[in-house]
C-alpha cells in the first residue's frame, strides 16, 4: 500500500527534530482500523489485508516515502518547567495531503524509544491505546476539534508498567503536532531566530492568512488563543476533563491532544478530577478555563522574542491579548451554552440564566449529559426524565421556569427546539464504567465489547432503543473513578 507522503516539517525544519526509528514488534496484529478516516485522508486501504495494515501501522514495515522523526519540545508539567521533553514514545512517519487539501501528520504512538525517551521504554500498553482511540473518535463525532485515530495494532510484546500488559501502537492523525511546548523548547534553548522560524512554519501550515499581518507572530498568538477558548468551551459543555493540561499537551492547531487520564463526568461536580496523578486538582473540570488562560500566557512568553523582533511595541499588545482571555472565553462559553439550552440570539439575560444553571447543577448533581436531553424531553411534554435525575422531582423547578420564560424570545415550536437541542447535546458518551469494561475485555483478548462501544460513541445524538444501557451513568455508589496516565 502506498501513502503519498509530503514531509514539510522534515524538509523545512531541520534542527527542530531528531530522526528516529520504530522498534520492530514481535508479532503485529491489527486490533482496529478506521476505514472512514483512511478514505478522508486519501489512504486507499480498502483492499489491503489486515496483516499488511498491522505491519505498516506498528512500525514493522516502513511505508515508502516516510521520513520518521521525533519532535523536540519542552513544557510546563503541573506548573513546573521541564526544558527537555520531546516525543519519547511517538514517531512521526510523515505528513499527507488529504484530497480536500488539508495536511495531516501520521504518527505512531508507542513504537519504541527515540532520542527523547530518557528513561522511558517508548512503548504503550493496549489499554491506553484503545482508550485514546475510543475517546478521540467520540470527540470527533461530537464535533470537538481533536487528533484522530487511524489504527491500533497489538505488538505481541509485553509492556511493563505496575504489571506487564500487552503492548500496542496507536496511529494518530493530527493537523500537526506543534505544541505550546514546542515553542517553549526553542525559546528556552535557542532564542528569537528559532522561534521566528517555528512561528512562520506554524502560520504557513495552520493560519496562512496571517502571513500578511503587520506582526504575524502577534496574530498567531491571537489565533491560537481563540482556538483554545473554543476548544475548552467545547470540553466544558460536554463535561470532559482532559486531565493533563500541561503546555506540552496543548496543540497550537486547537485540537484536543494526548488523551491520557481523561474522563467525562457523570453527575455534575465542578471539582471533578479523575487523574491519579492530579492530587491537588490542578486540572479539575472547573479549573480548565483558568488553566487554558495560564497556558496561553506561557505561549505568549515563548512567542515574545518573535513578536518583539517585528515590533517591540507589540509586546504590550500581546499582554492585552492575554489579559482579555477571561472575557473572550466567557463570550464563547455563553454561546456554547446558549446552543445547548436551545436559546438562539444572544440576550442580556443569558449570563444570569447560565450562571444560575451551574449553581443549581452543583447543588443537585444530576447526570450532566442526561440533564440536557431531559430538558429537551420537557419540551416534548414529558417531565419524567428530568425528575429521575434530581433528588426531589421539583428541585430545579425555579431554574427551569426561568429557562422556559427565555425560550419565548424566539418563535420556535417546542418540538423544533427539542430537535435542535438533541442535535447539540450527545446522548451517548464514553461512560467511564463502560470504558473500563471494554478495555478490560480487550486486555484479555476479547475486542468485541470495545468495537461495540466504538460504534455507539460514533453516533452520539440519535436515540436508539437497543442502546438504552449505554446512556446510563455508572452506579453512584461505586468508588471514585480513577484514570492513570496514558503511558
What's the N-to-C CA distance of the chain in angstroms? 30
- The verdict on 87 binding Mg ion (CB under 5 A) reads no
In this chain, which of 95, 105, 157, 258 binds Mg ion, going by CB under 5 A? 258
Piece in contact with Mg ion (CB under 5 A), picked from 13-21, 256-264, 307-315, 405-413: 256-264
C-alpha cell at position 114: 527515540
Piece in contact with ligand AMP (CB under 6 A), picked from 82-90, 143-151, 194-202, 438-446: 82-90
Q: How far apart are CA 349 and CA 340, in angstroms?
A: 16
User: Does residue 422 have an active-site annotation?
Assistant: no
Which residues in the 228-287 window bind ligand AMP by CB under 6 A?
Answer: 244, 248-249, 258, 260
Which is the catalytic residue, given 87, 248, 266, 314? Answer: 248
For residue 3, the surrounding DSSP H or E stretch is none
- The verdict on 336 binding Mg ion (CB under 5 A) reads no
User: Looking at beta carbons only, is 242 or 434 nearer to Mg ion?
Assistant: 242
Residue 302 region by backbone torsions, left for phi larger than 0, else alpha for psi between -120 and 50, else beta: alpha
In this chain, which of 7, 171, 184, 249 binds Mg ion, going by CB under 5 A? 249
Piece in contact with ligand AMP (CB under 6 A), picked from 2-10, 79-87, 209-217, 425-433: 79-87
Which residue's CB atom is positioned nearest to ligand AMP?
Answer: 120
In this chain, which of 25, 28, 94, 122 binds ligand AMP, going by CB under 6 A? 122
- The verdict on 19 binding ligand AMP (CB under 6 A) reads no
- The verdict on 199 binding Mg ion (CB under 5 A) reads no
C-alpha cell at position 25: 514488534
- 155 is in the binding site of which of Mg ion, ligand AMP, none (Cβ under 5 to 8 A by kind)? none
Size of the site for ligand AMP (CB under 6 A): 18
- The verdict on 158 binding ligand AMP (CB under 6 A) reads no
Q: How far apart are CA 368 and CA 152, in angstroms?
A: 30
Q: How far apart are CA 274 and CA 281, in angstroms?
A: 9
Backbone angles phi, psi at 88, to 5 degrees: -95, -15
Backbone angles phi, psi at 65, to 5 degrees: 85, -10
- 121 is in the binding site of which of Mg ion, ligand AMP, none (Cβ under 5 to 8 A by kind)? ligand AMP
- What b/e sequence results for 148-164 when a residue is b if at least 16 CB atoms lie within 10 Å of its CB, and e otherwise? bbbbbbbbbbebebeee
- The verdict on 161 binding ligand AMP (CB under 6 A) reads no
In this chain, which of 42, 88, 145, 286 binds ligand AMP, going by CB under 6 A? 88
Q: How far apart are CA 23 and CA 20, in angstroms?
A: 10
User: Looking at beta carbons only, is 90 or 168 nearer to Mg ion?
Assistant: 90
The helix/strand/coil state of 289 is: helix
Q: How far apart are CA 84 and CA 332, in angstroms?
A: 34
In this chain, which of 87, 95, 266, 367 binds ligand AMP, going by CB under 6 A? 87
Q: How far apart are CA 67 and CA 22, in angstroms?
A: 11
User: Looking at beta carbons only, is 240 or 333 nearer to ligand AMP?
Assistant: 240
C-alpha cell at position 127: 489499554
Q: How far apart are CA 175 and CA 111, in angstroms?
A: 20
- 239 is in the binding site of which of Mg ion, ligand AMP, none (Cβ under 5 to 8 A by kind)? none
**Longest CA span, the chain:** 64
The footprint of Mg ion (CB under 5 A) covers 249, 258
The footprint of ligand AMP (CB under 6 A) covers 85-89, 117, 120-123, 244, 248-249, 258, 260, 485-487
The catalytic residues are 248
Amino acid at each position: 500500500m502506498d501513502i503519498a507522503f509530503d514531509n514539510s516539517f522534515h524538509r523545512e525544519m531541520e534542527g527542530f527534530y531528531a530522526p528516529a526509528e520504530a522498534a520492530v514488534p514481535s508479532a503485529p496484529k491489527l486490533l482496529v482500523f478506521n476505514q472512514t478516516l483512511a478514505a478522508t485522508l486519501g489512504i486507499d486501504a480498502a483492499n489491503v489485508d489486515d496483516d499488511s495494515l498491522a505491519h505498516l501501522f506498528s512500525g514493522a514495515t516502513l511505508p515508502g516515502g516516510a521520513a520518521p522523526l521525533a519532535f523536540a519540545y519542552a513544557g510546563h508539567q503541573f506548573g513546573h518547567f521541564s526544558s527537555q521533553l520531546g516525543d519519547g514514545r511517538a514517531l512521526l512517519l510523515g505528513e499527507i495531503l488529504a484530497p480536500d487539501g488539508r495536511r495531516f501528520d501520521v504518527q505512531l504512538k508507542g513504537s519504541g524509544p527515540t532520542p527523547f525517551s530518557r528513561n522511558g521504554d517508548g512503548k504503550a500498553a493496549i489499554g491506553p491505546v484503545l482508550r485514546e482511540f475510543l475517546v478521540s473518535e467520540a470527540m470527533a463525532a461530537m464535533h470537538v476539534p481533536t487528533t484522530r485515530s487511524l489504527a491500533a495494532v497489538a505488538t505481541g510484546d509485553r509492556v511493563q508498567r505496575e504489571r506487564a500488559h500487552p503492548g500496542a501502537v496507536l496511529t494518530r492523525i493530527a493537523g500537526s503536532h506543534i505544541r505550546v511546548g514546542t515553542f517553549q523548547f526553542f525559546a528556552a534553548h535557542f532564542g528569537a531566530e528559532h522561534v521566528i522560524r517555528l512561528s512562520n512554519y506554524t502560520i504557513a501550515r495552520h493560519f496562512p492568512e496571517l502571513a500578511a499581518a503587520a506582526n504575524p507572530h502577534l496574530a498567531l498568538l491571537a489565533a491560537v488563543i481563540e482556538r483554545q477558548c473554543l476548544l475548552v468551551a467545547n470540553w466544558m459543555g460536554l463535561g470532559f476533563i482532559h486531565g493533563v493540561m500541561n503546555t506540552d499537551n496543548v496543540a497550537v492547531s486547537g485540537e484536543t491532544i494526548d488523551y491520557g487520564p481523561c474522563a467525562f463526568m457523570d453527575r455534575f461536580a465542578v471539582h471533578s478530577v479523575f487523574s491519579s496523578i492530579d492530587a491537588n486538582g490542578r486540572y479539575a473540570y472547573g479549573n480548565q478555563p483558568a488553566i487554558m488562560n495560564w497556558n496561553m500566557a506561557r505561549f505568549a512568553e515563548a512567542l515574545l522574542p518573535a513578536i518583539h523582533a517585528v515590533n517591540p511595541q507589540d509586546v504590550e499588545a500581546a499582554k492585552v491579548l492575554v489579559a482579555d482571555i477571561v472575557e473572550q472565553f466567557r463570550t464563547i462559553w455563553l454561546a456554547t451554552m446558549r446552543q445547548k439550552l436551545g436559546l438562539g440570539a444572544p440576550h442580556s439575560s443569558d449570563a444570569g440564566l447560565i450562571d444560575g444553571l451551574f449553581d443549581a447543577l452543583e447543588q443537585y448533581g444530576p447526570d450532566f449529559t442526561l440533564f440536557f436531553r431531559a430538558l429537551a424531553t420537557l419540551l416534548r411534554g414529558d417531565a419524567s426524565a428530568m425528575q429521575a435525575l434530581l433528588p426531589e422531582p421539583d428541585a430545579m423547578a425555579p431554574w427551569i421556569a426561568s429557562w422556559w420564560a427565555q425560550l419565548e424570545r424566539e418563535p420556535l415550536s417546542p418540538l423544533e427546539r427539542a430537535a435542535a437541542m438533541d442535535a447539540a447535546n450527545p446522548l451517548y458518551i464514553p461512560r467511564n464504567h463502560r470504558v473500563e469494561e471494554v478495555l478490560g475485555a480487550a486486555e484479555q483478548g476479547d475486542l468485541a465489547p470495545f468495537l461495540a462501544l466504538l460504534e455507539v460513541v460514533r453516533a452520539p445524538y440519535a436515540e436508539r432503543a437497543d442502546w438504552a444501557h449505554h446512556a446510563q451513568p455508572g452506579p453512584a455508589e461505586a468508588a471514585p473513578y480513577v484514570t492513570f496516565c496514558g503511558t
